[in-house]
C-alpha cells in the first residue's frame, strides 16, 4: 500500500467520498465483532469511473460481504484491473485472495449508469459469474446489494439477503416512527410517524404491507398499512387491547392477541379485518404468536405454567389447540420466532439479570445462547436463516444488532440519533432473487 | 393524577352545582391510580376503598364510563408486558363489576411499558409505573 502513491490517494478519496455520503443517508454505522473461523479471502477492486458516481458501488458490496462474517477483504490497493484481460492472477495469489471482484461503470448520456461486474476465481484463473445492467443513479445501492447477493450465493451456496429490507420502530424525543430501511440500515424512511407509541411491526409475506400496533387511540389497536400507497386500516380494534400481529405464511390471515373476551388470547383474523376466530383458550396470558413456515402451527408465549414460557400449538388437524411446552430453562422465555426452515426458533431468554437472544432446535431441544449483552429484544431471522436481527440497549437507547445464527459473528448497526426498537427482517422477494434488473 | 385529568366533563350525573366529585381533591374519586407489586396484579388492600368508590360512582351514574389503563415497568418483552398491564386493568375492572358497575361502562386496556409516567431506570420509577389508571370519558 505504501509503495503506490497515486492509487493510495485514490483510495483515500474513495474513503472520503463514502464518509461524505453518510449523513445524507442517515446512516446506520456498522461495527462487527468476532467472526467465523474460515473466511473466504476476497479482493474487491473499485470499478472503473466509480469515483464519478454519486454512490460508490464497491464499498457497499465490501460492507455487505464483511458483515456476514464469511469473508475477509484482501488488500486491492495499487492494482486496478477492470476487465478480465487486465487481471494478473499471480499478483492476487500473492496477496492471498481466492476470489476477485472487478467491474466498470459508464454514465450514459441520459444520466443512467451502465454497471458491469465479474467475479473471478483466482486459483483457476477463470470467471465464476458476471452481470451487466443499466440503472438510474438512485438505484446504485440496490445494484451493489444485488452484486453482493450474487457473490455471496456463488461463493457460499447460500441465498443472499442483502437486497431485502428491514423495519423497526425509532423513538426520537416524543416522536415514534415506523421505519423501513435497506438490509444494511441505509435508505431509512418513515412509514408513519406519531406522538404515541408504535410497537410490534410485522411484514406481510409479500413485503408489500406492515402490520403494527399503534396507541394513537389511547389503547393498542392493530393496523395494516400498504407501503406503496400508505393506505392504512385498523384490522383489530375490539373492546380492550389488540396487539401482537403475526402474518400467516400465505398472507391471507393474521394471528392477533385480543382481550375482548377477558385475558390476552390468540385469535385469527383475515388480513382485511373480517372473519374473527378464536384460536385457543387458556386461563393465562397467551401472546406473541409466530407462524410456522408451513402455516400449520404457531409458537407463542404463555404463562399458563406459572412463568412465561414458549409453547407450540397446531392450528389445524387432530391436535389443533393442544399446546406443547418448548422451553424449560429459566423462568422467563419470550418473543419466539420460527426460523425460515421451520427447524428451530429464536427467542429471548432471561439469563440472570440479562435478557439475551437464544435459539432452540426442535429436534435437539437444546437452548443455545447467542448473545451476552444486558438487554436484547425482538429477535427476527434473516430470510436465509443465517442471521438474526435484534435490538440491544447501549447507553440507554436501542441499537440495531445482528448475530449469525451460529453465534459466531455479531454486528451492530447503530444510528446517530434515536432509540431503535423491535427490528424485523423483511421477506426475500422473488424479484430480488431472480434479480434481472437490467434496463 | 392520570394523563388528561383536567379534561373531565361536567354533567355526568355528578349532581347539580356541587363540585364534580371526580375532580374534588378532597373526594377519593379524584384518586385515579392503583399501584401493584412486581409481577403482580392483585389489588392491594390500601386501594380497595378507592376502587370500591369508583365502582359505586359507576353504579350510581349509569351514563358514566371509564377506561382502565394498565401499565408495567420497562423490563422484559413489550408484548408480554402489554399482557401483564392488561391483567392489572382487568383486576380493577373485575373488582368494579363485583361492586355493582356494569360491563358496558368499563373498558380495560393496557399500555404495557410504552407510556411510563416515571422514566428513570430505578426501583422508584418501576414502582411508579406498575399501575392502573382510571380515566372517565372525556379525560382521554
Whether B2 is in a domain gets the answer no
What tens digit of pLDDT does each residue of A344-363 get?
999 999 999 999 999 999 99
Residue A395 has pLDDT above 90, yes or no: no
How close A397 comes to chain B (CA, Å)? 12
Contact B77 A218 (CB under 8 A): no
Averaged pLDDT score across all residues of chain A: 88
Whether B20 is in a domain gets the answer no
> What is the distance between the alpha carbons of residues A281 and A264, in angstroms, rounded to a whole number?
10
For A270, the enclosing helix (H) or strand (E) is: strand A265-270
A303, three cell numbers: 404463562
Pairing of strands A71-74, A40-44: parallel
Residue A416's pLDDT band (boundaries 50, 70, 90)? Answer: low
Whether B21 is in a domain gets the answer no
Whether B17 is in a domain gets the answer no
Whether B4 is in a domain gets the answer no
pLDDT value of residue A429: 87
> What is the distance between the alpha carbons of residues A195 and A178, in angstroms, rounded to a whole number?
12
Percent of chain A as helix, strand, coil, to the nearest 5: 15, 45, 40
**If you ran DSSP here, which 8-state letter would residue A427 be given?**
P
Q: Which value does ipTM take for this structure?
A: 0.88
- Residue A219's contacts (CB-CB under 8 Å, 6 or more residues apart) are A240, A241, A242, B67, B69, B107, B109, B110, B111
Contact B79 A218 (CB under 8 A): no
Owning domain of residue B130? 28-136
Residue numbers in B near A262 (CB within 8 A): 90
pLDDT value of residue A415: 60
What tens digit of pLDDT does each residue of A41-78 get?
999 999 999 999 999 999 999 999 988 888 999 999 99
Contact A241 B77 (CB under 8 A): no
Which of A243, A263, A350 is opposite residue B79, by nearest beta carbon? Answer: A243
Mean of pLDDT values over A116-123: 95
Averaged pLDDT score across all residues of chain B: 88
Q: Is A359 helix (H, G, I), strand (E, B) or coil?
A: strand
Contact A334 B67 (CB under 8 A): no
Cβ burial, residue A13 (10 Å; 0-12/13-18/19+) = exposed
> What is the distance between the alpha carbons of residues B63 and A173, in angstroms, rounded to a whole number?
38
Q: Is B22 helix (H, G, I), strand (E, B) or coil?
A: coil
Strand extents, DSSP E, A197-241: 198-203, 209-214, 221-226, 232-236
Mean of pLDDT values over B34-43: 92
- B13-B18-B23-B29 Cα dihedral, nearest 10 degrees: -70
CB count in 10 Å sphere of residue A322: 12
Whether B18 is in a domain gets the answer no
Sheet holding B106-112, edge to edge: B33-35, B131-136, B66-71, B106-112
> What is the distance between the alpha carbons of residues A237 and B111, in angstroms, rounded to a whole number?
15
Which domains are delineated in chain A? 5-156 (3.40.50.10070), 165-428 (2.120.10.30)
> What is the distance between the alpha carbons of residues A407 and A359, in angstroms, rounded to a whole number?
10
- Residue A3's contacts (CB-CB under 8 Å, 6 or more residues apart) are A78
Mean of pLDDT values over A158-164: 95
Contact A288 B84 (CB under 8 A): no
Q: Is A436 helix (H, G, I), strand (E, B) or coil?
A: coil
pTM above 0.95, yes or no: no
Whether B91 is in a domain gets the answer yes
Whether B71 is in a domain gets the answer yes
Give chain B's domain count: 1
Pairing of strands A221-226, A99-107: unpaired
What tens digit of pLDDT does each residue of A187-223 get?
999 999 999 999 999 999 999 999 999 999 999 999 9
Percent of chain A surpassing pLDDT 70: 89
Chosen for mutation from A220, A298, A304 (greatest number of chain B CBs closer than 10 Å) is: A220
Which of B82, B87, B108 is opposite residue A243, by nearest beta carbon? Answer: B82
A74, three cell numbers: 484482501
Which of A77-91, A192-206, A214-228, A414-428 comes out lowest in average pLDDT?
A: A414-428
CATH of the domain at B61: 3.30.1330.60
Amino acid at each position: 500500500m505504501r509503495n503506490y502513491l497515486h492509487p493510495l490517494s485514490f483510495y483515500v478519496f474513495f474513503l472520503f467520498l463514502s464518509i461524505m455520503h453518510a449523513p445524507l443517508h442517515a446512516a446506520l454505522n456498522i461495527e462487527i465483532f468476532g467472526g467465523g473461523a474460515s473466511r473466504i479471502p476476497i479482493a474487491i477492486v473499485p470499478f472503473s469511473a466509480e469515483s464519478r458516481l454519486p454512490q460508490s458501488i464497491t464499498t457497499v458490496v465490501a460492507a455487505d460481504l464483511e458483515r456476514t462474517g464469511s469473508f475477509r477483504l484482501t488488500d486491492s490497493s495499487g492494482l486496478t484491473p477492470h476487465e478480465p484481460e487486465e487481471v494478473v492472477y499471480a499478483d492476487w495469489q500473492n496477496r492471498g485472495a481466492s476470489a476477485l471482484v472487478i467491474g466498470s461503470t459508464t454514465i450514459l448520456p441520459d444520466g443512467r449508469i451502465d454497471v458491469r461486474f465479474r467475479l473471478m476465481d483466482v486459483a483457476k484463473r477463470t470467471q465464476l459469474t458476471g452481470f451487466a445492467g443499466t440503472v438510474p443513479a438512485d438505484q446504485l445501492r440496490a445494484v451493489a446489494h444485488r452484486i453482493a447477493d450474487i457473490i455471496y450465493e456463488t461463493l457460499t451456496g447460500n441465498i443472499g439477503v442483502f437486497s431485502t429490507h428491514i423495519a423497526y420502530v425509532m423513538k426520537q424525543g416524543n416522536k415514534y416512527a415506523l421505519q423501513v430501511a435497506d438490509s444494511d440500515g441505509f435508505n431509512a424512511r418513515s412509514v408513519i410517524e406519531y406522538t404515541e407509541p408504535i410497537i410490534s411491526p410485522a411484514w406481510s409475506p409479500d413485503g408489500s404491507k406492515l402490520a403494527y400496533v399503534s396507541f394513537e387511540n389511547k389503547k393498542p389497536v392493530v393496523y395494516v398499512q400498504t407501503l406503496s400507497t400508505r393506505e392504512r386500516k385498523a384490522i383489530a380494534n375490539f373492546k380492550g387491547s389488540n396487539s401482537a400481529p403475526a402474518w400467516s405464511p400465505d398472507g391471507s390471515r393474521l394471528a392477533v392477541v385480543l382481550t375482548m373476551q377477558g385475558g390476552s388470547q390468540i385469535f385469527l383474523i383475515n388480513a382485511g379485518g373480517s372473519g374473527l376466530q378464536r384460536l385457543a383458550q387458556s386461563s393465562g396470558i397467551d401472546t406473541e404468536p409466530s407462524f410456522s413456515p408451513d402455516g400449520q402451527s404457531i409458537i407463542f408465549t404463555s404463562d399458563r405454567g406459572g412463568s412465561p414460557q414458549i409453547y407450540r400449538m397446531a392450528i389445524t388437524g387432530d391436535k389443533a389447540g393442544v399446546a406443547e411446552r418448548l422451553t424449560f430453562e429459566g423462568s422467563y422465555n419470550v418473543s419466539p420466532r420460527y426460523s425460515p426452515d421451520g427447524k428451530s426458533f429464536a427467542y429471548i431468554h432471561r439469563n440472570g439479570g440479562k435478557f439475551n437472544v437464544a435459539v432452540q432446535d426442535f429436534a435437539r431441544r437444546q437452548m443455545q445462547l447467542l448473545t451476552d449483552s444486558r438487554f436484547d429484544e425482538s429477535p427476527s431471522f434473516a430470510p436465509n436463516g443465517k442471521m438474526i436481527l435484534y435490538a440491544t440497549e447501549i447507553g440507554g437507547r436501542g441499537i440495531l444488532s445482528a448475530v449469525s445464527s451460529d453465534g459466531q459473528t455479531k454486528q451492530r448497526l447503530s444510528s446517530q440519533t434515536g432509540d431503535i426498537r423491535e427490528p424485523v427482517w423483511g421477506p426475500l422477494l422473488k424479484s430480488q432473487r431472480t434479480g434481472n434488473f437490467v434496463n | 393524577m392520570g394523563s388528561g385529568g383536567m379534561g373531565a366533563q361536567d354533567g355526568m350525573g355528578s349532581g347539580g352545582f356541587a363540585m364534580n366529585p371526580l375532580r374534588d381533591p378532597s373526594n377519593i374519586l379524584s384518586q385515579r391510580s392503583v399501584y401493584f407489586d412486581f409481577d403482580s396484579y392483585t389489588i392491594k388492600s390500601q386501594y380497595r376503598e378507592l376502587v370500591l368508590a369508583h365502582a359505586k360512582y359507576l353504579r350510581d351514574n349509569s351514563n358514566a364510563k371509564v377506561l382502565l389503563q394498565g401499565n408495567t415497568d420497562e423490563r422484559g418483552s413489550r408484548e408480554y408486558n402489554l399482557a401483564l398491564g392488561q391483567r392489572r386493568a382487568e383486576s380493577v375492572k373485575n373488582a368494579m363489576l363485583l361492586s355493582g358497575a356494569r360491563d358496558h361502562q368499563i373498558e380495560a386496556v393496557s399500555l404495557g411499558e410504552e407510556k411510563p409516567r416515571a422514566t428513570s431506570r430505578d426501583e422508584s420509577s418501576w414502582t411508579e409505573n406498575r399501575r392502573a389508571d382510571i380515566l372517565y370519558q372525556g379525560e382521554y
